[in-house]
């Protein structure tokens, strides 16, 4: 497993991050713990979750993924200092009027609940899941800074922030001498490039922000399981259909060919290798719901795309204003 610095921090994280949105959804607790163990044994030290995972599943109150991780750390006797645990705050975690958002009140309540579920007394990375337009950015950053000073959080980051909001947050942190966002989680993959590359990428490059892309396989589209004449049932089919067009079908054909030419890599491994070839990318977030999918994802580590193959992928997926 390769390891990369998490932005300006001293943390070194695995080049693939294990996402956990599937825990308690498409993977039950027993399978989730097997996936965690297999990933850890393969060298994955970076685990990403959120306090709302997987609240959208009927009967799931949220916090289930965090609880599964906490149970695994305890039962498997995993040394806490060998993991980099990241979770998120923003979404609704209860029924009260203050049980969501990025207010000081909610952040302080939410972090205690996450720490309890994860069975740890600190978080390596605490991320705002999305912006909260109803709360001044200085209130949010001040609350997060207090958690860093208290030792409950080591570093802070953000997810789903447009470039201008990330810039606003960085400027506010600098002006008020507060902890700053050291990482950003954009929605970024071969068939969804413009959102990150148009402006966000340059902000991250200039300020040395770690980039942790989510949905690197485009809701399963970039695994190749969906083809022009093949649409299997899947929990993420509805999300994947947005990519069903002739341009993207041609891209899958190209990725399949490149995989054959580079040693028999799968389409998903080529998609992950393309992200890992970007020096801005720290660690794409994979979300395997089986041990077979995990093994396939791990196979992307160390895959080197040649200049010609990289150029072909860039051209085939290029966005235009």
Helix intervals (H) in the chain? 29-41, 64-75, 104-118, 137-150, 163-176, 194-197, 200-207, 237-240, 246-261, 267-276, 291-298, 307-316
Query: Which of 53, 161, 188, 214 is the catalytic position?
Result: 53
What one-character DSSP code corresponds to residue 113?
Answer: H
Is 126 among the catalytic positions? no
DSSP helix/strand/coil, 40: helix
157 pairs with which residues across the strands? Answer: 127
Question: Using an 8 Å Cβ cutoff, are 267 and 252 in contact?
Answer: yes
Q: What is the rounded CA–CA span in Å between residue 173 and residue 151?
A: 18
Choose among 285, 157, 173: nearest CA to 210: 157
What one-character DSSP code corresponds to residue 82?
Answer: G
Catalytic residues: 53
């Amino acid at each position: 497993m390769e390891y990369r610095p998490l932005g300006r921090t001293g943390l070194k994280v695995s080049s693939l991050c294990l996402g956990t949105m599937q825990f308690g959804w498409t993977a039950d607790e027993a399978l989730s713990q097997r996936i965690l163990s297999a990933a850890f044994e393969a060298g994955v030290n970076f685990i990403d979750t959120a306090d709302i995972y997987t609240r959208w599943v009927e009967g799931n109150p949220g916090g289930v993924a965090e609880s599964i991780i906490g149970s695994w750390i305890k039962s498997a006797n995993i040394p806490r200092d060998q993991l980099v645990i990241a979770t998120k705050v923003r979404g609704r975690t209860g029924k009260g009027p203050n049980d969501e958002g990025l207010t000081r009140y909610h952040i302080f309540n939410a972090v205690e609940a996450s720490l309890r579920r994860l069975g740890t007394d600190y978080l390596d990375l605490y991320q705002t899941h999305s912006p909260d337009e109803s709360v001044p950015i200085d209130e949010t950053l001040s609350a997060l800074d207090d958690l860093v000073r208290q030792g409950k959080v080591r570093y802070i980051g953000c997810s789903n922030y447009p470039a201008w909001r990330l810039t606003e947050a960085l400027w506010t942190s600098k002006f008020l001498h507060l902890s700053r966002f050291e990482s950003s989680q954009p929605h970024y993959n071969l068939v969804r490039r413009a959102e990150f590359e148009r402006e966000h990428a340059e902000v991250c490059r200039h300020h040395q922000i770690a980039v942790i892309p989510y949905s690197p396989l485009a809701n399963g589209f970039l695994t190749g399981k969906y083809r022009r004449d093949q649409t299997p049932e899947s929990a993420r089919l509805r999300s994947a259909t947005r990519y069903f067009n002739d341009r993207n079908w041609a891209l899958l054909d190209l990725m399949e060919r490149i995989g054959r030419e580079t040693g028999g890599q799968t389409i998903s491994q080529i998609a992950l290798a393309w992200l890992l070839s970007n020096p801005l990318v720290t660690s794409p977030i994979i979300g395997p719901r089986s041990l077979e999918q995990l093994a396939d994802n791990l196979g992307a580590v160390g895959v080197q795309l040649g200049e010609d193959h990289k150029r072909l992928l860039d051209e085939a997926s290029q966005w235009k204003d």
